[in-house]
Amino acid sequence: MFIYLMMSFWAGIGLVMNTRLSSMMAHALAPTGAMMTFIALWTGALWGRPTWGAWWVWDARLTSELILLFLYIGYMALRSSIEDPRRGDKASAILALVGVVNVPIIYFSVQWWNTLHQGASVSFTKSPSMASSMLSGMLVMALAFWMYSIAVSLIRVRKIIRDRESNTGWLNESKGAG
């Protein structure tokens, strides 16, 4: 969800301020967010089968998370279906900004509706309701997730810059100097 918020933020900056790098950053974040959303849905299904007795239930959190996956896929499909990069950036930015409405729906779904999912186990206002060994493992994995996401997104945005700017003088000059 946070990756989608960041993607929407960069897409919005690119749309409002007409900056190419912001749109490229949003474009670079989308595949990582889609992959993480898919992994969350898939591992949730693996966990849900023995717990709930079904691979999938039309639970509010699961359904809104599936919509998030469709938003990521739609963003990437729309962006790649328009040949002009500037027009593609604008169209996909509008989709990302409209889709950001889904993020609070995912987050608050367990409070708004009677769902199978439990509430938050970690909060800023209360002490954690999980064992300390599980909490430390979760925090280490969260840090690893952020480091992976940042590294992959920066590598991807570098490739996008090289692809889009391959015919410009400044990129060709830096290739000769490096």
Query: Per residue in 155-165, is it b (16+ CB within 10 Å) or e — as a string?
Result: ebbeebbeeee
Mean pLDDT estimate for the chain: 86
Cβ 11 vs Cβ 92: under 8 Å: yes
What is the predicted pLDDT for the residue at 175?
A: 58
Whole-prediction pTM value? 0.83
Distance separating alpha carbons of residues 69 and 54, to the nearest angstrom: 20
What is the predicted pLDDT for the residue at 71?
A: 97
Tokens of 121: 């186990």
**Residue 83: helix, strand or coil by DSSP?**
coil
pLDDT (tens digit per residue) in 6-55: 999 999 999 999 998 999 999 999 999 999 999 999 998 898 888 888 88
pLDDT (tens digit per residue) in 51-90: 888 888 888 888 999 999 999 999 999 999 999 989 999 9
